[in-house]
Each structure stands twice: as C-alpha cells, then as structure tokens.
Amino acid sequence: MQSKKEKKQIVQNIIAFMKASEYDPLALARYTYLLSLDEKTHRCNDTQLYELMYTLSGMDAGAEFTLTEDEVLEMLRVYLLSIE
C-alpha cells in the first residue's frame, strides 16, 4: 500500500514526464502503464489512483480514449488536491 507521499510522487512523476517533452498521448500511456506496474497501483486500496492510472494507460486503445494535455493535467491536479 502506498503512502500519501508515495501517491503524490507517482503523480508528480507523470507530470514531470509530460513536461520533459512535447505531449504525446501514446508515450504517456506507455509510461503510465509501466509506472503502474512498477508501483503496483493495481494492488493499492486507492480506487481513484487506480482509475487514474487505468485511464491514462488506456489512451493507446484508440482516438476515442485519447485525452488532451489539459485534460490530463486537470485529472492529475484534481487527484493531488484530493489526497491533500
């Protein structure tokens, strides 16, 4: 189980990844998927974090699942506010 600090770090890592280069939904989906495996977010009891990671890693499933950079950042911001 991740602590609040660890959950915050996961989201901050995603934001840092996004800021490191031009927004690419497929690259972000891949990164988020690998991060979710590394951090075992599927095993945590935080449903909101699990759904966030699932949504972001699923953007490679097709155009209808792709979010804009602003939408992703807003989702991440809302999650960070919810764990404060």
pLDDT surpassing 70 at residue 1: no
pLDDT surpassing 70 at residue 19: yes
pLDDT band at 36 (very low <50, low <70, confident <90, very high): very high
pLDDT digits (tens, 9 = 90+) for 43-79: 888 999 999 999 999 998 888 899 999 999 999 999 9
pTM summary value: 0.91
Domain ranges of the chain: 4-83
Task: Give the ranges where 1-84 is alpha helix by DSSP (H).
Answer: 4-20, 25-39, 47-57, 69-83
* 28 token code pair: 């972000």
* 40 token code pair: 């075992």
32, 69, 72: which is closest to 53 by C-alpha?
A: 32
Spatial separation of the C-alpha atoms in residues 74 and 78, rounded to whole Å: 6
